[in-house]
Amino acid sequence: MNFFLHLSIGLHPYSTKQVNNSSGLKPVVIYHNCELDKTQILRDNKDKPAIYRWINNINHKTYVGSSANLTVRLYKYFSITHLTKYKTPIHNALLKYGFNNFSLEILEYCEHEIDLVNREQYYFDLLKPEYNILKVAGSPLGFKHSEKTLEFFRNDRKVSEETRNNLSLAAKSRILTESDKTKISIARRGIKLSDETRARISAATIALIGVSVIVKNVKTDTELHYASLTDAAKAIGVSRTAVRKALDTGRTVKGQYLVATKN
């Protein structure tokens, strides 16, 4: 039913009337044309925890989801960038058919966020939505791990506390190569790192927090000591990268600050 037909019969392009269907379902509200109803959809559902259902009006396939803040979730659906980035069946369908060919049902508003998973599972079982990849509400994978995999998690996924700290610090430094990042990811799954990679991680850690520097103002001939490159950068009012570059090249920052390591 299009927008003009709604007007011709005296109906709004969305309806709060409870509507029955083949499953005996009575949605709280139905928006028949998500392109025309976008503003109303976002306004109506602000800060509301709810279970919702997308319905493809062309092939009648559906998708059931839940959100603690439905407007935030729906903003993502209405973002073309988001749709093209996450190529799930529902994202692909919204791109292919367009919002004007989709209806949106609010199946249920939940009083508490804790109810969302249980109610979402109820609608999964009742409606068996075709666009849903996962069949278990709240599950990040949608299937159970094998006993072998569980055994690996219990016994083999062991990384020392020191390694965990170094990995975390190295990741924050943002100076590792893609190859190093891959190796770090592997290490987190319990696979040993090579000596070379460990050395790079250690160097990245030092670069992040272990370099004490002296900043000399060549105009006033004064020196200040800082515990890290980050602290020096904040004091000078530049980026940490700029301080790092000045330290490596011997050039001044802002034409007046020389940076050197403390002996």
For the chain, which residues make up each domain, given as ranges? 3-127, 160-208, 211-261
Tell me the two tokens of residue 128: 């068996």
- Dihedral pair phi/psi, residue 207, rounded to 5°: -65, -30
Residue 53 corresponds to which tokens in the numbers above? 């259902």
Dist. CA 19–CA 15, nearest whole Å:
9
Beta strands (DSSP E) in the chain are 14-15, 29-31, 50-56, 62-67, 102-109, 213-217, 222-226, 257-261
263 residues of the chain, pLDDT tens digit each: 433 333 333 333 444 433 335 467 889 999 999 999 999 999 999 989 999 999 999 999 999 999 999 999 999 999 999 999 888 999 999 999 999 999 999 999 998 777 888 899 999 999 999 999 887 776 544 344 455 545 544 554 455 565 566 556 555 544 555 566 665 565 555 556 666 766 666 555 555 445 678 888 888 888 888 878 888 888 888 888 888 888 888 888 888 888 887 65
Q: Which pair of structure tokens corresponds to residue 30?
A: 């139905």
CA–CA dist 36, 100 (Å, integer): 7
DSSP assignments along 153-169, one per residue = IIII----HHHHHHHHH
Alpha-carbon span 162 to 170, nearest angstrom: 12
Structural class in CATH, domain 3-127: alpha beta
Question: Is-contact 211 180, C-beta < 8 A?
Answer: no
Using only the alpha carbons of the chain, give its radius of gyration.
28
Tokens found for residue 221: 């001939």
Give yes or no for a contact between 172 and 230, defined as CB atoms under 8 angstroms apart. no
**Structural element, H or E, at residue 197:** helix 195-205
Whole-model pTM above 0.75? Answer: no
Instruction: Give CA torsion, residues 96, 53, 121, 109, to 10 deg.
Output: 150
